[in-house]
Amino acid sequence: MNRFIKVGGLGVVVAVIGIFVFIVSQVVPMFQSAKVEVPETIGVGEPLPEGSYVAIASDEWGERPLALRTDGRFFASDLTNGGASTELDFQFLEGDTISAVSALPGSGVIAVGTSGGKVHLIDYSYEAAFSAGKRTVKEVLAKGYSGDFGGSVKRVAFGQSGSARLVAGLASGDAGDRLTVNLIERKRSLVGTGTWKETASIDLSKTLRPGVPVNSLLVSNRADTLIVVFANGEVDYHFRSGNATTFELRQTFRPFADLTNPTISSAGFLFGDVSLVFLSPTGENVIFSLYRTEEEPVRIFHPTKHFAPLAGKGSDAFFTKSLRNKAFLVGSGKRASLRHATTEKVRWESELPFSVKHALIGAKYDSLLFFGDDRRFHRFVLDDPHPEVSLRALFGKVWYEGSPEPKYEWQSTGGSDDFEPKLSLVPLIFGTLKGTFYALLFAMPIALFGAIYTSEFLHPRNKVYVKPVMEIMASLPSVVLGFLAALWLAPILERRVPSILCIAVLLPTASFLIGWMWSRQPQSIRKHVPAGREFLYFLPVLLGILYIGWHLGPIVERFLFTVEDAATGTRIGDFTRWWPAVTNTVYEQRNSLVVGFVMGFAVIPIIFTIAEDSLSNVPGALRSGSLALGASRWQTAWRVVLPTASAGIFSALMIGLGRAVGETMIVVMATGNTPIMEWNVFSGMRTLSANIAVELPEAPHHGTLYRTLFLGAVALFVMTFAVNTVAEVLRQHLRERYKTV
């Protein structure tokens, strides 16, 4: 048997270590940097014909990119077939020349401005066909719109939202430059979609600075925002509300106002069009995001992120965004750098063997496409499955888009594709500690005093019934307790919090008062009550006090917890409205009070059973000696038995703590599962264990959320291990101090 126990114990240790190693192995890949390499089968295309190329586009696989030359001719490079290049049979300029261009990644549109004053929108798409098990991709080009801007177009920008397109153009004229924004719409009918028609033309020339050139124009994909970047480093933010045909100049700011040279060499929207990325000629890289403060009536741009300066410096900077996440690619000359806005980290940076003229991030975030000064396309394979992960994003404060300040936040999913994952584990750790605190706050006094009374004062015949009842409490499934907490207890407590407060004051006070009065009675009276059965005589009194406290609550609520009724103007008693008004915190039906009661109910049997066993195992000689020296039963229990059993009692508390930390179903069903950080007893929480149970079934296998949940399991494992280690050290210390010979 000794050998069997040793082998079994060793097997348990090996199993625990194996589980921990497996969990850690799922977490480690999250912290790997991005890998960029040139594949052997696809990568470099043939040189395109001589000329200046002003824009590039690509299919979602990054296999057949397009390049637009200044004479309006398109060239495609087939990177799957040795990089062979072909000229496409599509011409739209009709003798004009290109003077400005805007190719927004993922839009399927290239906006072209000409020296003749025209702006053309070229729609491009790719059609995939399969033959003999091989996929072939074919380009489809069409002219979607042509407009006249009255002069040579210097800058052009484009944005599209559903059936609305916004085209901005800066054109030269006799009286100076003119900034015009055209609204283009397409009506849908039962027989299909119509053609694009210009419905409004907005003149914003008055917002231009005399003598200050415009470096670039940006239009958001919501077709409601126009950004004008000036050569002196100033940026204008124009906004169009709803279906309005006017723009409001909401803000003018300088991203690099603190630099000696505040000019901007490159600018662009991040995925989602809520943040702007700016790059200076000296390599400084900052991000400004839209949010509203309490003092501001509308959202405007504020600085939120500051990256390490780019090593490559110069005015020939480039910028492109990812279409999957908040990553972006910036660079200048031969230097390219892949960065992520949420984590504020450089994912990859390198010196390339060619100067970059244009760049794109693959639509699936699996490749980087460069067009160099050698007129070749260079495709690099990108392996960066977890760009939104860093130690700061997981455990530090992060300045998320739309937030007025950095904060801890957990929100793994959103309602749109451009959602920014918020994967901070701090609210979950806080929720775990909060739930454990309120559960033990309720369970510890009841379990410990119950164990002391059962061990030292209760009649031996009554102990026979107490321990089985406690074991029945421990046998109740947590899912049943959670079900009762959510559907039965929570609605009751929502209406009767004042009653709970009255009971919490009256019942302990009455219990101590009864005990004190009983201890002061002469022996001639006390001898009529058998020792250990006093509770049978006092129980009716305590039940009566419980009844009084329950019905006293509404009366106390009407006098103490009053608020003004907005409908009648009179003051009414309503604790659910009084609490938010006084504390400026929320009051929710499923809250920490409910969790404290129900999870405490689940923890009480564990603490009680182990503590009672520890107290009962104290040698009877110690009790007899203390009583013989004149100590009362309470003095003996408090000063002799309790210190002697302190090691076992401490173990009971730690095991109860571990039970509360790992509880899942009660927290899932009774708290509302909100990952917030406040100690408010009337608000909910989300714990690490509950978060794993809720999120894991929906987490993509080996995805970022999947691995983050495993990191939560590691955090839970480490917390439990640390608490148990400290508990064991203290237990051994108490055991050595109070051991009996």
Q: Residue 244: which CATH number? A: 2.130.10.10
**Residue 498 has what pLDDT?**
93
Q: Which residues pair with 69 in a beta bridge?
A: 53
Structural domain includes residue 502: yes
Q: What is the pTM of this model?
A: 0.89
Range(s) of the domain holding residue 229: 92-253
| Torsion angles phi and psi, residue 125, rounded to 5 | -150, 170
| Domain limit, last residue, from 236, 253, 270 | 253
| Domain limit, last residue, from 212, 233, 253 | 253
Alpha-helical regions (H) of 371-496: 391-395, 426-456, 460-475, 478-484, 490-495
| Torsion angles phi and psi, residue 251, rounded to 5 | -160, 145
User: Does 192 score more than 70 pLDDT?
Assistant: no
623-636 tens-digit pLDDT? 889 989 888 888 89
Q: Looking at residues 444-464, what average pLDDT do you find?
A: 87
661-672 tens-digit pLDDT? 888 889 989 888
Structural domain includes residue 73: no
Element (H, E) at 226: strand 225-230
CB 329 within 8 A of CB 275: no
Instruction: Fill in the amino acid letter for 62.
Output: G
211-241 tens-digit pLDDT? 899 999 999 988 889 999 999 999 999 999 8
Assigned token pair, 507: 């019942």
Q: Which of 677, 614, 218, 666 is nearest to 454 (CA)?
A: 614
pLDDT band per the 50, 70, 90 thresholds, residue 315: low
Structural domain includes residue 553: yes
* Cα-only R_g, the chain: 36
500 Cβ partners below 8 Å, 6+ apart? 493, 553, 593
Q: Looking at residues 302-317, what average pLDDT do you find?
A: 84
> Three-state SS for 716?
helix
Dihedral sign, Cα of residue 494, residue 496, residue 501, residue 505:
negative
CB 158 within 8 A of CB 166: yes
Structural domain includes residue 337: no
Q: Residue 472: which CATH number? A: 1.10.3720.10
**Residue 431 has what pLDDT?**
93
Q: What percent of the chain has pLDDT over 90?
A: 53
Structural domain includes residue 634: yes
| Nearest-angstrom CA–CA distance, 62 and 605 | 62
Structural domain includes residue 356: no
Q: How many structural domains are present in the chain? A: 2
21-54 tens-digit pLDDT? 999 999 999 999 899 987 765 678 889 999 999 9
Structural domain includes residue 641: yes
Residues in the chain: 741
Q: Considering only the C-alpha atoms of the chain, give the largest distance between any 2 of them, rounded to a whole number of Å.
A: 121
Assigned token pair, 315: 């005015």
Mean pLDDT for all residues in the chain: 89
C-alpha distance from residue 149 to each of 60, 152, 210, 682 (Å): 33, 8, 20, 61
Structural domain includes residue 331: no
pLDDT band per the 50, 70, 90 thresholds, residue 294: confident
User: Does 740 score more than 90 pLDDT?
Assistant: no
User: Does 741 score more than 60 pLDDT?
Assistant: no
| Domain limit, last residue, from 208, 238, 253 | 253
